[in-house]
Amino acid sequence: MHTQSGFEPNSRRNRWLALMTVSAMLVAAAAGCQASPAEQQEVAPEALPTLPTRQTEPDRAPDERVDTAEFLRLQEIHDGSADSTTIDLDLAAALSGEGFSGTSGIAHRSRFSTDTLPGNDQPLQPSPGGQMAAATRDPLATEVGRAVLEDGGTAADAAVAIGVAISVSEPHFSHALGGGTWALYYNAAEDRVRALDGIGKTGSLVELDFFRDPERNRPRGPHRVIIPGAWDGWMLMLRDEGSMHLDELIQPAISMAEDGVPASRSMVGFIIQEQETIRSFSDTAAVFLPDGDPPRVGQTIRQPDLADTLRGLAAAYRRAHDAASPDPELSTADRDEYRRRTGIQAARDHYYRGPIAQRLGEWLLENGGFVTPEDFAAFEAQWLDPIFTHYRDVVVYASPPNSQGAAMLMALNILNHLDLSSGPDDPLSIHRIVEATKLGKIDTWHYVAEPDSMPVSIETLLEPGYARQRAARVSDTAAISWPEDGGLNLSEDNSTTGFVVMDAEGNTVSVTTSTGAQFLVGGSTGILLNQRMEVMEIAESNPNIIAPDKKPRHTVNQYMAFRDGQLLLAGGNTGFDTQPQGMIQQFLHIVEFGMSPHEAVSRRRFITHAFPASQHPHRASNELFLEPGTPGHIADDLRSRGHRIGRSGVIGNANLLYRSPVTGQVQYGADPRGENTGFVLPP
């Protein structure tokens, strides 16, 4: 890997700090706030980066606030979970109308939209160019990624910088130091896809009986925390696929944490929902209830403890980097790479075998958790082989177990045997997609867990013959309802974020990273901790049963798709059990129905809950939720096929990258449901 030249505090760092200031003003303006003239004058005009065109919100009253009732009214209905929802008061109207336009200017043939000429297999107009791209659900993080790619960084470099920045700007969705991360990484030079497993294990002190006791097993708290595996995963990716220095990559996040970021509407909504838990822990309340109450939209949220923790990691990297003594016989590039890798290992050790793990472990044990400092020290992230299947002429990759990536692949295997030619708005097509999705999720519930705990191999679940058997279970007139057995006749008894990046060499990463859905800061570290114990089971018959030193079946997953050996798609969706369902629909919108990337992520969604929800208490509502704006005749037709239609707000959040097999140009889709943004850079 190419190593960037030395630390440049007076150039790159200052440029990124200027970028952070401008981006903060951008977000504040979108939230209805205005930067002061003094703040605007702090940035020299020549320092201003070129910002991408954002999908702005319709005008609204400056004093409009999202109160508790409105927030809960707009939540995605996930058996009470608000894991993945971002609020858009005008989304229902937007989804029910026309007018979604492309975001990167690359035309795309669509059989089911009116923005292209029917029967035209070629792009309608030349692409304006696009070799590097990224899309995230946070404007600040998007700008961080842009700066890294413009400075010659790899997709891995940009992903690390984005992932840490998001921990500051949208900590209610993910945290690079407190959560878990799955990613698919495509190395273009090696033509290889690998799966990054940055998911931690349960603590060594976990007791099953504790979680069977409803008096002790509260919905939120330190007892639900597993080892945060994300940081080690990020460091593994940076070591093996990156080129830049860690302290440079996380400097924007340090500045954001120190100087503060404007509270988004989604952040305020989640704080309102979680304020009871937040008030129970003084370190959490100090950050997210700054005046004793939930912040206003646009109010500055500062995280000084997190800034200190990140500075400690940056310093550990730099000390080890500068003190490293590579073999003098090595080339200059190899000596630089040796120093970079030495620094990265020091940052891993500083977290998992140093002061951060010690402080977190002690705090967890003092507050009812089960993860010890020794548990942190024993953890290491790993690269794994992805799982894959074929849909028509497309090879689709997903994260392997303990991820729920198999759910998407099993559903696509079933859909290989079902006819969707009547189009995405035909109720029969929707019904068939829903039924295939149900069967994929049902088999995930029955069989998928940490690989050593699975009663059947993942290869068996993905066999074409098994898919034919499951496709035969689909009836066009009778919807499947839970309880439903798995198909192998064995004995049986939203908080997330995702983003995608492609660099100048074609290296591509699709990331889904999450904490769960709680605001819980680990003492004075400033780190928001996960609650991933909630996705585990207490039934002896389920392979995902709670046990010490065990990885839970993790809802986080993503996909990549290739046609004729060339990367076609990379993307992900947020929201516990919504994730594979949204990804299936976006994939089909492009591959089956010929839509543009922006159409694919913007189009109305539907989700089924005809299986136990991943999160505790694992209810199955047997409802099919349709997003606002879905025509009444579609709902009526689906009811006639046996579906119980449920009321829903917006469903999930998605980002994807598409590379045209005709032009080789890359295009992004950024979901209008949130504050998602993206960019395309020329060669």
Q: pLDDT tens digits for 153-181?
A: 999 999 999 999 999 999 988 899 999 99
Say if 637 falls within a structural domain: yes
Residue 83 has pLDDT above 70, yes or no: no
pLDDT band at 38 (very low <50, low <70, confident <90, very high): very low
Residue 334 neighbours by CB under 8 Å, 6+ apart: 326
Question: String of b and e for 440-469 (b: at least 16 CB within 10 Å)?
Answer: bbbbbbbbbbbeebbbbebeebbeeebbee
CB 96 within 8 A of CB 665: no
Q: What is the pLDDT of residue 363?
A: 97
Q: What is the pLDDT of residue 540?
A: 85
Place of tokens 């400056």: 62
Q: What is the pLDDT of residue 630?
A: 92
Say if 332 falls within a structural domain: yes
Top mean-pLDDT range of 60-69, 219-228, 485-494: 219-228
Residue 611 has pLDDT above 80, yes or no: no
Q: What is the pLDDT of residue 421?
A: 95
pLDDT band at 618 (very low <50, low <70, confident <90, very high): low
Place of tokens 């707000």: 649
Q: What is the CA radius of gyration of the chain?
A: 24
Indicate left, alpha or beta for 205 from its phi (over 0: left) and psi (-120 to 50: alpha).
alpha
Residue 51 has pLDDT above 90, yes or no: no
Residue 506 has pLDDT above 60, yes or no: yes
Please state which of the ranges 17-26, 31-40, 119-128 shows the lowest mean pLDDT.
119-128
Question: H or E element: which one contains 305?
Answer: helix 304-323
| pLDDT (tens digit per residue) in 131-156 | 899 999 899 999 999 999 999 999 99
The residue range of the domain holding 211 is 132-260+302-386+495-681
pLDDT band at 217 (very low <50, low <70, confident <90, very high): confident
Q: How far apart are CA 199 and CA 226, in angstroms?
A: 9
Q: What is the pLDDT of residue 564?
A: 96
Q: What is the mean pLDDT of the chain?
A: 80
CA distances to 232, 407, 416, 443, 452 from 448, rounded to whole Å, are: 24, 9, 22, 7, 10
Say if 105 falls within a structural domain: no
Burial of residue 438 (number of CB atoms within 10 Å: 0-12, 13-18, 19+): buried
The CB-based long-range contact list for 33-40 (8 Å cut-off, 24+ gap) reads 33/262, 33/297, 33/298
Say if 52 falls within a structural domain: no
Dihedral, 165, 166, 169, 174 alpha carbons, nearest 10: -140
Q: What is the pLDDT of residue 378?
A: 98
Residue 43 has pLDDT above 50, yes or no: no
Say if 10 falls within a structural domain: no
Mean per-residue pLDDT for 629-643? 95
Question: H or E element: which one contains 301?
Answer: strand 300-301
Paired residues of 46 in beta bridges: none
Q: What is the pLDDT of residue 31?
A: 43
Q: What is the pLDDT of residue 536?
A: 84
Q: Based on the structure, what is the number of domains in the chain?
A: 1
| pLDDT (tens digit per residue) in 539-577 | 888 888 999 999 887 667 789 999 999 999 999 887 667
CB 652 within 8 A of CB 76: yes
| pLDDT (tens digit per residue) in 366-390 | 999 999 999 999 999 999 999 999 9
Say if 561 falls within a structural domain: yes
Say if 71 falls within a structural domain: no
Q: What is the pLDDT of residue 486?
A: 52
Question: H or E element: which one contains 144?
Answer: helix 139-150
**Which tokens belong to 611?**
């299986």
Phi, psi angles (nearest 5°) of residue 193: -105, 130
Say if 242 falls within a structural domain: yes
Q: How far is CA 133 from the centre of its chain?
A: 17
Q: What is the pLDDT of residue 78?
A: 30
Please state which of the ranges 48-52, 623-627, 669-673 shows the lowest mean pLDDT.
48-52
Q: What is the pLDDT of residue 320?
A: 99
pLDDT band at 329 (very low <50, low <70, confident <90, very high): very high
Mean per-residue pLDDT for 87-103? 28
CATH number at residue 574: 3.60.20.40
**Which tokens belong to 507?**
């290296």
Global confidence as pTM: 0.81
Q: Which residue has the higher pLDDT, 491 or 645?
A: 645
Q: Which residue has the higher pLDDT, 28 or 385?
A: 385
| pLDDT (tens digit per residue) in 272-324 | 988 988 999 999 999 999 989 999 999 999 999 999 999 999 999 999 999 99
| pLDDT (tens digit per residue) in 228-279 | 999 999 999 999 999 999 999 999 999 999 999 999 988 998 899 889 889 9
Q: How far apart are CA 211 and CA 85, in angstroms?
A: 27
Residue % of the chain over a pLDDT of 70: 77
Q: Which residue has the higher pLDDT, 74 or 434?
A: 434
Q: How far apart are CA 504 and CA 243, in angstroms?
A: 13
| pLDDT (tens digit per residue) in 621-632 | 889 999 998 999
pLDDT band at 220 (very low <50, low <70, confident <90, very high): confident
Report DSSP state, residue 124: S
Q: How far apart are CA 581 and CA 627, in angstroms?
A: 13
Q: What is the pLDDT of residue 179?
A: 92
Residue 683 has pLDDT above 80, yes or no: no
Please state which of the ranges 167-181, 341-355, 600-614 shows the lowest mean pLDDT.
600-614
